């Protein structure tokens, strides 16, 4: 491999000749060989750095045109556009397990953008610190990147995935109007429910999760940029924080604004904790929905068997013909991961000391993994399972009329205690509720038929 010599304040460093990163990135590669190739800084963070560096260059050009010339701004902007597009992903090799402020990833961005910008300009025009990092510090850029990445992940990936699954459930509700089945509580038979009502519960849960995510978005739209090292805004021109937030908003089309208190913005991560709590709520509801679906589809002969789900792949290496609810299992595993991530997010956020939180990379890694997994799991579950759900109406009707809890309909006519005696006799002797009720003398056969209508109990 060919190398070139780069230098920083600590001296000279050999850097691969075909890479745009510089000395500080190379030192981080050498000093943190942890999770290499597996746990690199999330691409969403790199994308966000491209956005904020471009926004900062434009804000500096407006406020400090003598330092950030049009030529420098344009070179930075063009290099940033390549970062944003993912074209330069291979030039961002650093792992999550680095300095807790994300300083090395900020410098990775500065070095790549400077070197690529110089290549574009055809001259040594840009310096990583003096130009690309102008009016910034790692301490305000990394939390800014976290908020940008979080908002984009929630608005552009998680919310659309929720909407897709909600629309599928709306269609299934309409298709299953009038289909009555046995309800279940405590995994035991309960009074009847319409299948459309059961589905509406799934839909409404997702709609409420959507509302919670929307509530979490507003505080995430506040950006720390402009606070620099400790929140005082040292080395920034007047109005930089507001201007750079406007530029980020313009580049993303999102309602970003400057954080009113930069001391809070640098050290506290409560906005991300709150937002991840909404993701955990979504994970909990998806766990419930996926479990409901696989229970209802259990069988095909010895389970509940009340719905059919798509058969996507063979389910066993030894049992021929077996098909499993694999999409449900994938969703539930994702839910488990998100719940675990929530613990990491909360603990990381609790570690703000004085003017800075130094657990930001691990917090960002877990938050963005949760958002990405939930979005992808919902799309997969929708496309390969939920959209193909069909009611087994015959089995639903059988289970409904075989349920002892239909006896609840008799409460107004024979009372709770007599209804309980009826149910127990029917269960003990394996006879129908009607037979038990008539044998006990609580109702005549004719009167039983007049008052007992399971389909009207919903």
Residues with a catalytic annotation lie at: 186, 316
**Please, are residues 404 and 419 in contact by the beta-carbon 8 Å criterion?**
no
Full DSSP string of 92-149 = ---BSSS-TT-HHHHHHHHHHHHHHHHHHHTSS---IIIIITTT--HHHHHHHHHHHH
Full DSSP string of 193-253 = EEHHHHHHHHHHHHHHHHHHHHHHHHHHTEE-TT-TTTSS-TT--TTHHHHHHHHHHHHHT
Number of CB atoms found within 10 A of residue 2's CB: 7
Q: What span, in angstroms and rounded, lies between the C-alpha atoms of 226 and 144?
A: 10
Q: Contacts for 195-203 with beta carbons within 8 Å, 24 or more apart?
A: 195/391, 195/396, 196/172, 197/458, 198/292, 199/169, 199/172, 199/173, 200/169, 200/173, 202/169, 202/285, 202/289, 202/292, 203/166, 203/169, 203/170, 203/173
Show the beta-strand stretches assigned E in 215-359: 222-223, 257-258, 307-308, 352-353, 356-357
**Please, are residues 61 and 70 in contact by the beta-carbon 8 Å criterion?**
yes
Q: What span, in angstroms and rounded, lies between the C-alpha atoms of 338 and 367?
A: 8
Q: What span, in angstroms and rounded, lies between the C-alpha atoms of 279 and 275?
A: 7
**Please, are residues 240 and 178 in contact by the beta-carbon 8 Å criterion?**
no
């Amino acid at each position: 491999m060919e190398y070139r010599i780069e230098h920083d304040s600590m001296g000279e460093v050999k850097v691969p000749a075909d890479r745009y990163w510089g000395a500080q990135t190379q030192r981080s590669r050498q000093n943190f060989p942890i999770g290499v190739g597996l746990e690199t800084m999330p691409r969403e963070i790199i994308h966000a750095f491209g956005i904020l560096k471009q926004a900062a260059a434009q804000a500096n050009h407006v406020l400090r045109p003598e330092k950030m010339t049009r030529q420098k701004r344009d070179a930075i902007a063009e290099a940033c556009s390549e970062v944003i597009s993912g074209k330069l992903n291979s030039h961002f090799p650093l792992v999550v397990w680095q300095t807790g402020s994300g300083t090395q990833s900020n410098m990775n961005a500065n070095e790549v953008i400077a070197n690529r910008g110089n290549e574009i300009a055809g001259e040594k025009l840009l310096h990583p610190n003096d130009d690309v990092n102008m009016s910034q510090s790692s301490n305000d850029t990394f939390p800014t990147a976290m908020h940008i990445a979080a908002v984009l992940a929630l608005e552009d990936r998680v919310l659309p995935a929720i909407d897709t699954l909600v629309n599928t459930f709306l269609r299934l509700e309409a298709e299953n109007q009038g289909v009555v089945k046995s309800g279940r509580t405590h995994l035991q038979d309960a009074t009847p429910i319409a299948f459309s009502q059961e589905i509406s519960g799934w839909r409404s849960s997702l709609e409420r999760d959507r509302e919670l995510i929307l509530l979490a978005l507003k505080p995430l739209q506040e950006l720390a940029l402009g606070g620099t090292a400790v929140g005082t805004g040292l080395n920034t021109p007047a109005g930089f924080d507001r201007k750079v937030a406007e530029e980020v908003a313009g580049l993303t089309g999102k309602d970003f604004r400057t954080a009113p208190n930069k001391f809070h913005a640098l050290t506290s991560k409560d906005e991300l904790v709150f937002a991840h709590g909404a993701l955990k709520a979504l994970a909990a509801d998806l766990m419930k929905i996926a479990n409901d679906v696989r229970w209802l589809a259990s069988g095909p002969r010895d389970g509940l068997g009340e719905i059919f789900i798509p058969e996507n792949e063979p389910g066993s290496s030894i049992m021929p013909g077996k098909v499993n609810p694999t999409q449900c299992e994938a969703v539930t595993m994702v839910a488990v991961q998100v719940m675990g991530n929530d613990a990491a997010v909360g603990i990381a956020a609790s570690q703000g000391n004085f003017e800075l939180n130094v657990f930001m990379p691990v917090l960002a890694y877990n938050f963005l993994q949760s958002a990405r997994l939930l979005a992808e799991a919902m799309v997969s579950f929708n496309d390969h399972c939920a959209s193909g759900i069909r009611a087994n109406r015959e089995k639903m009707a059988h289970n409904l009329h075989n349920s002892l809890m239909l006896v609840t309909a008799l409460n107004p006519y024979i009372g709770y205690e007599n209804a309980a005696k009826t149910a127990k006799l029917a269960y003990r002797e394996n006879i129908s509720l009607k037979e038990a009720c008539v044998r006990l003398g609580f109702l005549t056969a004719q009167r039983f038929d007049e008052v007992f209508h399971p389909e009207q109990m919903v």
